[in-house]
Amino acid sequence: MPFLTSRSRERKKKDWQITHFPKHLTIVLVLSVVLLGACVLASLIFGARLVTQDQLIAGLFHSNIDSYGATVVRERIPRTVFSLCCGAALGVSGALMQAVTRNPIADPSILGVNTGASLFVVSGIAFLNISTAGQYIWLAIAGAMITAVFVYGIGSMGRDGATPLKLVLAGAATSAALSSLVSAIMIPRTNVMDQFRFWQVGSVGAGNWSAITTFLPFLIIGLVVAVLSASALNALALGDEVATGQGVRTGILRLIAAFAGVILCGATTALAGPIGFIGLLSAHLIRLVLGPDLRFIIPMSAVAGAIILTISDVSGRLIGSPGELEAGVVTAFIGAPLLILLAVRMKVRSI
Amino acid sequence: MKPAHRFQAEEISAGYEQHTILNDINVEIPSNQINVIIGANACGKSTLLKTMARLIKPESGEITLDGKAISSIPSKQLARVLGLLPQSPIVPEGISVADLVGRGRFPHQSFLQGWTKKDYEAVAEAMEIMDITELANQNIDELSGGQRQRVWIAMALTQQTDILFLDEPTTFLDITYQIEILDMLTDLNRKYGTTIVMVLHDINLAARYADHIFALRQGELIAKGGPSEVMTSQLIGDLFGLHCTVIKDPVSHSPLVVPKGRYHV
């Protein structure tokens, strides 16, 4: 290795650069637009009934035509929009949780936050007789928050604080305990059971315009907070001490960013049920291609999440045909192996 | 030349959870000088540095900058005066040298404002000082320990603070790199007048590079001043419980501690 001292080197002119935009950003953007379009189309076309091109066009642009196929397409529109919104929310939620815990395998489902939201919603149905999406949402967010605090609390006990491994263990244990509670509440109540059997797996099939309008404010607040905190989260990625030295109030930042992450996944869980691994998948994929800058990871995770969830939903419809397989089942099938792969590859190294 | 600041720790007590490490310490950091905190393991030298750099909230007492409590100064504004390099910062996977160094500009940037000429100049200058301009486009993972440490210091430098805290900046480095890093910090101090406050493990390097030494024993400040006044065999005995002779370093003419042992008396 050439030995560099300040005397012996030649001073070079500026031939370095700061990466303002990640190397593959253009390709990724183009690819996302294409994929987004493709999965929206697929979501409108595929399902129990395959629609033809004419029916698709009729359903989308000619509201006066009332053929069966056109109606099917029209009914699939809100479902598709809903799945895009939920995917975006889960993607960003995952990216935020990874940044806040500085843990590459954080995700609402792995940390048990989804299950906490489920428990609260199920309890609400069983004991408080709630039934509207607006009520579900608040309960789910409350449940998600309490669980998040609880899991982080347990995970950070002991000597070296909240290590990735401890957080995942705390999340898994909490999740297991809470889901048995969910079962305990549901099983003896047949009416709740019916209402919740499908919700519990996680599905965007119930998406309609009213669910979307209930969901939208939470999505927007969550996304705005996430994007605004991205550059401070970049500082946090260098460690708490460096971040503090750069003028970041790490406690407040963590609180705000975690709050946004919890709102996003809580609201999604309320309306679509606990869908796992979207955050893990999308944030990872984006970090892999775009690098470590959270100002890009966060918004692009929204896009990736929307695409992944919609593809999962469509694949579920195709695999389960003539019925359908819920998106939550599909994402778990893709996500679980990825989690194992990641854990092995980085030996739970922190990001 | 960087402006002079009056930086003081007044009757500081601090520690971790129930365990108090510092007891009523009073420190005033001489401005525009190289200050080194020395002491045995667990004497509280790192705690003192961290408390002054606001990583630890003191249980009692106050840290003041030009007469104002640092807890009352907005954190980003304070970050433009007070920089810090902790002992083990975290490298984000796959980041380039220039990008990491550029991260130091955070306290100077606002949300929508892009990179200004000033930001670029700060990065260029810091990389120049730490002699890493050639490495700028490389990935951090490809660097040696000594190079990495220079990158981290460069990141702290881009923050362009008047005061810079460093927690054991030479630990885990070979002696060559230790000298190199300390020479560069000295350049920084002599050229720009940056006030440097650091913890060093090696007392002889401390004696060689410090303008001013703070000696800590069990959470108390037992000596301070220029190395040639402070570094006596008496003090080293008090600090480390070590028998030694202090001679004059033939190269730097600073005090040189020569330890004694059971076989070498």
Give residue B147's pLDDT. Answer: 92
Domain identity same for B150 and B20: no
- Residue B42's pLDDT is 85
In a domain, A27, yes or no: no
Rounded CA-CA distance A243/B89 in Å is 10
**For A18, which of B86, B115, B159 is closest by C-beta distance?**
B115
Reported confidence tier of residue A5, pLDDT bands at 50, 70, 90: very low
Residues B106, A231 contacting (CB under 8 angstroms): yes
**B106 contact residues in A (CB cutoff 8 A):** 231-232, 234-235, 246-248
Q: Which one has a higher pLDDT value, B239 or A16?
A: B239
Q: What is the mean pLDDT of residues B116-145?
A: 91
pLDDT tens digits, A74-120: 888 899 999 999 999 999 999 999 998 888 878 888 888 989 998 99
Domain of residue A209, residue span: 83-345
Using one digit for the tens of pLDDT, what is the confidence trace for B162-199? Answer: 999 999 999 888 999 999 999 999 999 999 999 999 99
What are the DSSP calls for A300-320, one per residue? HHHHHHHHHHHHHHHHHHHHT
CATH at residue A216: 1.10.3470.10
Which residues of chain B neighbour A351 with C-beta distances below 8 Å? 90, 92-93
Query: Would the CB atoms of B78 and A247 count as touching at under 8 Å?
Result: yes
- Indicate whether B246 belongs to any domain: no
Residue A17 maps to a domain: no
Residues B151 and B165 in one domain: no
A318 in a domain, yes or no?
Answer: yes
Question: Which residues in chain A have Cβ-Cβ distances shorter than 8 Å to B180?
Answer: 5
Coil, strand or helix at B41: coil
The contacts of residue B157 (CB under 8 Å, 6+ apart) are B83, B104, B122, B125, B126, B129, B130, B164, B188
Domain presence at residue A211:
yes
Q: Is residue B249 part of a domain?
A: no
pLDDT at A345: 67
Count: domains in chain A: 1
How far is Cα B96 from Cα B132, in angstroms, rounded to an integer? 12
Q: What is the CATH number of the domain that holds B207?
A: 3.40.50.300
Domain assignment of residue B244, yes or no:
no
> How many Cβ pairs closer than 8 A exist between chain A and B?
115
Instruction: Indicate if B68 and B174 belong to the same structural domain.
Output: yes
Range of the domain at B137: 92-160
Q: ipTM of the assembly?
A: 0.92
Looking at the structure, tell me whether residues B152 and B166 fall in a common domain: no
Question: What is the DSSP code (8-state) at residue B139?
Answer: B
Number of domains in chain B: 2
The answer on B96 and B198 residing in a single domain is: no
> Any idea how long chain A is?
351
pTM: 0.88
| Residues B77 and B166 grouped into a single domain | yes
Residue B77 CB neighbours (<10 A):
11
Q: Both B7 and B130 in a single domain?
A: no
How far apart are the CA of B245 and the nearest CA of chain A, in angstroms? 33
A contacts of B109 (beta carbons < 8 Å) = 231
Nearest CA of chain B to the CA of A229: how many Å?
9
Checking if the pLDDT of A193 tops 50, the result is yes
Same domain? B65 vs B172: yes
Nearest by CB: A247 against B79, B85, B103: B79
Residue B257 lies in a domain: no
Q: Are residues B131 and B151 in the same domain?
A: yes
Please give the full DSSP string across A329-349, using - where no structure is assigned.
Answer: HHHHHHHHHHHHHHHHHTTT-
Domain match, B13 and B65 both: yes
